[in-house]
Structure 1
Amino acid sequence: MYYIKIILCLCLSVLNVSSMALRGGPLTRYEPCALGALHFDKISDRFWQGVVNLHLYSEYANQVEFNVYFDKQVKIYGASQNSTFKVKDNYHNYTFKPKDGVPSRYVFFVKIESFETEVPTVRTFSINNQTLCDDIIKASQKVESLNVTDDNRFYKHVCGRRALDHAELTSVRTESKAGDWPWHVAVYHKDENLTLSWYECGGNIISRTAIVTAAHCVRRSGETLDPERIIIVAGISNHKDMNEIGRQMYIAEKVIVHPSYNDVDATADLAVIKISKLKFTEFVQPICIWGPVYDKSNLFGNQATVVGFGSTEDNKLSDILRSTYTMVQNDSTCINYSPKLYRSLLNEFTFCAGFGPTSGINPRNGDSGGGLVVSTVQTDHLITWFLRGVLSRCGVSPGHKECDPKFYVVYTDVGPHYGWLYHHSGLQFRSNIM
């Protein structure tokens, strides 16, 4: 396994951001049909770890049997819970049956025998004869299916879902493709003469007409920028590629800063940028907003994903979108590390994240305004992505302007601001957890 060093960027004061730099090999996950029940993590070329999340199915408390039919020939090496498995169809079709009850998490290892592919593509997957993934289900997961408009008065759309080509196979700690994170946008600023522009921050699509970002990303010298000085670029993995196929560009029509925000603390570091109607495509999709909720304790210790543009681990500027994992920490972890800094920044409206000052996986120079996103399995067995935090603040050592990698990053929690975000985004106030 590679040892990684992750560099994210945020600043305590309002500064131009550089962005995300990564070390180590990419982490690749394959989720057939974008299911929450089954996924495969790549270990090496043609060797993967398979995981079945049986805790999602409490109805199978006494006995469970599941079947995986692979598109290409594979070999199974080891399985948890002292289970048995049967193989048919020349090493394509496997049936697994755990012994001694139903485990919450079942693990097995797969080696791909065919040299035609490096991914253990699943043709069908079923649990206790209930089919959760097959060609019919895959065919139904087109971008068009996310549009659920039922009349001409209101435009409705499923949030937090990606086109299947991007939802099944995801890699982090590497360069992203357009459509991998279709809700992430680049926020540009123009100068006062509207002649020059530059990349400033990240942002998140939450409706056809609204982008949520950090409030400090739309301000300069203590004042909120006029809308015509802000440009939103969506549907891209390279924000400087003017010809990228999914690219959409909009000039802001209105900028709404949270009324509780100030330039000193991070209590409500949120802003909504209103634009003309986005066209939802394979490359541009909205993310769900987590909430309404004030309790953040269930986040502590959980893994989340962050995305951003910027410089590489070699400190060379990069225009390519990158993503990586981070870990949400208990407030006390961050306060104990630096009481002077985090006591003033952490409250019921914020939380901190990172892998710790000695782990070698630490926040540093990254993208303000970008989202901390979490995935949740819904009642239809598929994964939905939720925006839970917006990158806001980090620790800066005395005499420096850039984030210190020894510190944790502070995020604005969108859960307590759910109603405000919905009100200013043209969305209907309701819980969006399916």
Structure 2
Amino acid sequence: TIECIDGSDEKSELCGRRILVRPTTVPPTTAVPRCELPEQPLNGSYSVVSESNTTQTDHVYLNYTCDPGFKLDGYSNVLCLEGTWPDKMPRCVQTCRLIKHASIEYECTEDETEKPRPCNVEETEGTIVKTSCRKPNYFSPVELPYMHCQQGMWSSGPICTAECGTLPPKSTPLVLKGSTARFGEVPWHVGIYYKNPVSKKHVQICGGSLISNTIVLSAAHCFWNENTQRVQDVANYAVAVGKLFREWNHPDDEPFAQKSDVSEIVVPKLYRGLELYFKNDIAIVRASRPFEYKLYVVPVCLDFNEEFSNIQLRNGNRGKAAGWGLTTGMVGSESSILRVINLPYEDYESCLNLTPAASSRYITYDDKICAGTLDGEALCRGDSGGGLAFPSSISGRMRFYLRGIASTSPPTNDQTVCNTHSLTSFTSVIKFEKFIKAYWYP
């Protein structure tokens, strides 16, 4: 061997050449980061959909769900890849269930500065609900507060009141004898129909006044059987609102009319019909399904304040009444179109003086009021049960308040069944406050 200049003992041809020295051991490979499972969320849980843990890859795929009363904030499916989870993991937040009322419109937001969005049935903690009364059929005398979802409860429950006793804008009138009738002229007027079991037709027999979306006030004698001294079967009756024409299925009514069977009829316990001269002649009629308030379907106002009643019920003040009853007092003269009439109120003394002696026994002081004239403006058969409503301006808006329910009028001595030249007696609504309030839910 030859000793090289660098002192190494190499062959001469290797002197000065660089030698590559290979390690005798294999270096360790870098491990793929592992996906550690997170803690289960509060008020919820996750399940592992799939996972893989090899030297080549590592992933975990989770599906999150929440307990009842809680809603997921974030995506329900989460993927971890090589040890990296999303920055924001799903969480279960408490919710408030929003039970919507037909009288209110709802808009939701998470921030008062954000553009509102439609509300969901379940809204999460912190959601703000902006509410407003659904116009033109509902209103509130005060500003409605925002609703805040806090600890599973809403901070407030706004209430909107149904507009009552209001009339829609005037439309083209149908001129009748001394009166005009329009769709919506008396939007609280209800047609009471008897379901004839023989002809299978609905026959209009009486009227009524809508006081809530299911309750109608009418006259007890419309449903009373004088032979059995009982109210007839509710299955025999049906009611309709929003109608102008008497016929049950008149095609021109269809865009506006709403109809229902009757589920309950209640009359005062002491009502005995003709036996007691139609004393306590009032009936609660419950529709089987609720009516929807529309432009031409509006409940009449009720107010039991005696002072306010006395202001409205002064001699000469006119109340609005309507019906499809006889127009001449003769059988067969029923009106095919709703007739509207404004009748002047007469106090008890005037009423007795203007009523034939034979009929004065029907004018009972403690539960009747009178209205009408002697010149042919009167209600007749078929108009019974209809309301007599008087107008008053309340907060700048004209509203009609129900004061009477058409009960009786004196007959004539000939073949006619109705004396159109007489006053009509009405059951006084204010006298039956407790009876009405037991069933009336505005």
Structure of higher RCO (CA pairs closer than 8 Å, 6+ residues apart)? 1
Cα shift at 1:284: 0.7
Is the aligned partner of 1:260 residue 2:270? yes
Query: Structure 1 counterpart of 2:342, which letter?
Result: Y
Q: Aligned match of 1:246 in 242, 253, 256?
A: 256
Is the aligned partner of 1:425 residue 2:440? yes
1:330 corresponding residue in structure 2: 347
Cα shift at 1:320: 0.6
Q: CA separation in 1, counterparts of 2:175 and 2:301? A: 21
The answer to whether the Cα contact below 8 Å between 1:210 and 1:272 also exists between their aligned partners in 2 is: yes
Q: CA separation in 2, counterparts of 1:143 and 1:177? A: 24
- Cα distance 1:230–1:238, how it changes in 2: closer, same or farther (>3 A)? same
Q: CA separation in 1, counterparts of 2:286 and 2:390? A: 24
Which residues in structure 2 correspond to 1:114-263 (within 5 Å)? 144-148=135-139, 156-165=161-170, 173-192=178-197, 195-221=200-226, 222-240=229-247, 241-244=250-253, 245-263=255-273
Q: CA separation in 1, counterparts of 2:402 and 2:424? A: 16
The answer to whether the Cα contact below 8 Å between 1:213 and 1:271 also exists between their aligned partners in 2 is: yes
Cα shift at 1:307: 0.8
Q: CA separation in 2, counterparts of 1:192 and 1:170? A: 33
Cα shift at 1:252: 0.5
Q: CA separation in 1, counterparts of 2:300 and 2:419? A: 30
- Cα distance 1:206–1:145, how it changes in 2: closer, same or farther (>3 A)? same
Q: Residues 339-391 of structure 1: CA distance to partner in whole angstroms, max 9, x if unpaired?
A: 342244221210112213xx45455555001111110011x211011111110
Computed over aligned residues only, the root mean square deviation of the Cα atoms, in angstroms, reads 3.1
The answer to whether the Cα contact below 8 Å between 2:173 and 2:181 also exists between their aligned partners in 1 is: no
1:375 corresponding residue in structure 2: 391
Q: Residues 72-117 of structure 1: CA distance to partner in whole angstroms, max 9, x if unpaired?
A: xxxxxxxxxxxxxxxxxxxxxxxxxxxxxxxxxxxxxxxxxxxxxx
The answer to whether the Cα contact below 8 Å between 2:222 and 2:385 also exists between their aligned partners in 1 is: yes
Cα shift at 1:401: 6.0
Query: Structure 1 counterpart of 2:245, which letter?
Result: N
Q: Residues 191-241 of structure 1: CA distance to partner in whole angstroms, max 9, x if unpaired?
A: 357934311101110001101110111223432122221110111111321
Instruction: Compare CA radii of gyration and give the structure with the larger one.
Output: 2
Q: CA separation in 1, counterparts of 2:400 and 2:414? A: 39
The answer to whether the Cα contact below 8 Å between 1:162 and 1:180 also exists between their aligned partners in 2 is: yes
Q: CA separation in 2, counterparts of 1:226 and 1:360? A: 35
- Cα distance 1:361–1:308, how it changes in 2: closer, same or farther (>3 A)? closer
The answer to whether the Cα contact below 8 Å between 2:194 and 2:205 also exists between their aligned partners in 1 is: yes
Percent identity reads 21
Q: Which runs of 5+ in 1 are unaligned?
A: 1-141, 428-434
Query: Structure 2 counterpart of 1:329, which letter?
Result: E
The answer to whether the Cα contact below 8 Å between 1:292 and 1:418 also exists between their aligned partners in 2 is: no
TM-score by length of 2: 0.57
Secondary structure at the aligned position of 2:401 is classed as: strand
Query: Structure 2 counterpart of 1:144, which letter?
Result: K
1:293 corresponding residue in structure 2: 306
Cα shift at 1:300: 2.7
Larger mean Cα displacement after TM superposition, 316-325 or 186-195:
186-195
The answer to whether the Cα contact below 8 Å between 2:318 and 2:342 also exists between their aligned partners in 1 is: yes
Query: Structure 1 counterpart of 2:279, which letter?
Result: T
Q: Aligned match of 1:272 in 284, 294, 297?
A: 284
Is the aligned partner of 1:413 residue 2:428? yes
The answer to whether the Cα contact below 8 Å between 1:293 and 1:416 also exists between their aligned partners in 2 is: no
- Cα distance 1:411–1:152, how it changes in 2: closer, same or farther (>3 A)? same
Is the aligned partner of 1:352 residue 2:370? yes
The answer to whether the Cα contact below 8 Å between 1:363 and 1:407 also exists between their aligned partners in 2 is: no
Secondary structure at the aligned position of 1:375 is classed as: strand
- Cα distance 1:193–1:317, how it changes in 2: closer, same or farther (>3 A)? closer
Secondary structure at the aligned position of 2:336 is classed as: coil
Query: Structure 2 counterpart of 1:369, which letter?
Result: G
Q: Which runs of 5+ in 2 are unaligned?
A: 1-132, 145-155
The answer to whether the Cα contact below 8 Å between 2:334 and 2:382 also exists between their aligned partners in 1 is: no
Is the aligned partner of 1:321 residue 2:338? yes
Q: CA separation in 1, counterparts of 2:363 and 2:342? A: 22
The answer to whether the Cα contact below 8 Å between 1:289 and 1:418 also exists between their aligned partners in 2 is: no
Q: CA separation in 2, counterparts of 1:152 and 1:171? A: 46
- Cα distance 1:242–1:423, how it changes in 2: closer, same or farther (>3 A)? farther
The answer to whether the Cα contact below 8 Å between 1:266 and 1:412 also exists between their aligned partners in 2 is: no
Query: Structure 2 counterpart of 1:373, which letter?
Result: A
Q: CA separation in 1, counterparts of 2:161 and 2:425? A: 33
Aligned length: 282
